[in-house]
Amino acid sequence: MAESDTAVDAERFSPGVPSRSQPFELKGSGALDWGMQSRLARIFRPPTYRTVMLAIDHGYFQGPTSGLERVDLSIVPLLKYADALMATRGIVRSTIPAASCTPVVLRASGGPSILRELSDEQIAVSMEDAARINASAVAVQVFIGGEFESRSVHNMTRLVDESQRHGIPVLAVTAVGRDLTRDARYLRLATRICAELGAHVVKTYYCAEGFDTVTAACPVPLVMAGGRKLPELEALTMVHRAIEEGAAGVDMGRNIFQSDDPVAMIQAVSAIVHDALKPQEAFDQYLRERQ
């Protein structure tokens, strides 16, 4: 029997209330497909649309580096504090519990070890396998100014083409070769090239002078890599500056997993990124939480 068409029933459709669509607020991402936005929102957590990504993919060219000898023991306990985990498919499948539900940013380029020319990379994961593993994004190294610059850029653009088909975003990692200076001029060049050629997110290093011009010139979210291990207060100060100067979060490895207390450190980083703590406040929290 048809439902009665009374005025009371009509009210349930709220005809006087205009339908509103909610804009996707992540920088430069408003025109992306729904699946792409959904995956980005797993990584860049609303309402801040920022991320604390834990990078543990170092083994793809360095082997079992300090702090990553036993990922099951050192990293798994950190997962609940990370907004995303950047890792290789070998570590994800062998060691990361699927039930952790931490979004995975899958390392998708590789080839040479630390014994060889690092820019000589190829694509190392198909987008089908990234989809199979339920990756929220794939990561590719781009060596602007490096010996195999063009190939690394081509690796990225091929992944971007594939990513558009699958709705899986591409994070471009701007690798800095031994002979290149990490100043704002270089970082603007490298990050902008990645974004212009289609990367949905760009990862780069912090520079003390002019980092705000690097983030301003990059039309998509930029996350800061941690780099070599620093004393905790220095690392937290760098995180704070990067966020203040426009970064959408961090993708840090050694400064977390090589810390004296990685659990306390990742929480202190998160407190800066998501809760606007000052460096000293976050350091005090680190000292309180330290085991």
Residues 61-120 that bind ligand R5P (CB under 6 A): 86
In the complex, least distance from residue 175 CB atom to ligand R5P, rounded to whole angstroms: 6
Round to whole Å and give the CA distance between 186 and 137: 25
Round to whole Å and give the CA distance between 173 and 7: 58
Which position among 103, 110, 221, 226 is part of the footprint of ligand R5P (CB under 6 A)? 226
Which position among 32, 55, 123, 238 is part of the footprint of ligand R5P (CB under 6 A)? 55
Residue 175, strand partner residues: none
- Using omega within 30 degrees of 0 as the cis cutoff, is the peptide bond preceding 47 cis? yes
The first and second tokens of residue 73, run together, are 């023991």
In the complex, least distance from residue 86 CB atom to ligand R5P, rounded to whole angstroms: 5
Which position among 172, 254, 264, 265 is part of the footprint of ligand R5P (CB under 6 A)? 254
DSSP per-residue letters across 241-267 = HHHHTT--EEEESHHHHTSSSHHHHHH
In the complex, least distance from residue 186 CB atom to ligand R5P, rounded to whole angstroms: 16
Which position among 39, 45, 50, 58 is part of the footprint of ligand R5P (CB under 6 A)? 58
DSSP assignment letter at 28: T
**Looking at 14-22, 24-32, 144-152, 220-228, which segment touches ligand R5P (CB under 6 A)?**
220-228
* Closest-CA residue to 200 (of 61, 64, 33): 33
Q: Verify whether residue 27 is a known catalytic residue.
A: no
Which position among 28, 59, 227, 246 is part of the footprint of ligand R5P (CB under 6 A)? 227
Residues 167-186 that bind ligand R5P (CB under 6 A): 173
Which position among 252, 264, 265, 269 is part of the footprint of ligand R5P (CB under 6 A)? 252
Q: Are 227 and 254 in contact (CB under 8 A)?
A: yes
Pairing label, strands 109-110, 122-123? antiparallel
The three-point CA angle 32-186-86 to 5° equals: 50
Q: Are 212 and 246 in contact (CB under 8 A)?
A: yes
194 contacts ligand R5P (rule: CB under 6 A): no
Of residues 27, 203, 229, 278, which has the active-site annotation? 203
In the complex, least distance from residue 115 CB atom to ligand R5P, rounded to whole angstroms: 15
In the complex, least distance from residue 149 CB atom to ligand R5P, rounded to whole angstroms: 16
* CA dihedral over 53, 142, 201, 216, signed as positive or negative: positive
Residue 95 DSSP SS3? helix
Nearest residue (CB) to ligand R5P, 37 versus 119: 119
Report the Cα 210 to chain-centroid distance in Å.
Answer: 21
In the complex, least distance from residue 233 CB atom to ligand R5P, rounded to whole angstroms: 17
Catalytic residues, by residue number, are 203
What is the binding site for ligand R5P (CB under 6 A)? Answer: 55, 57-58, 86, 173, 225-227, 251-255
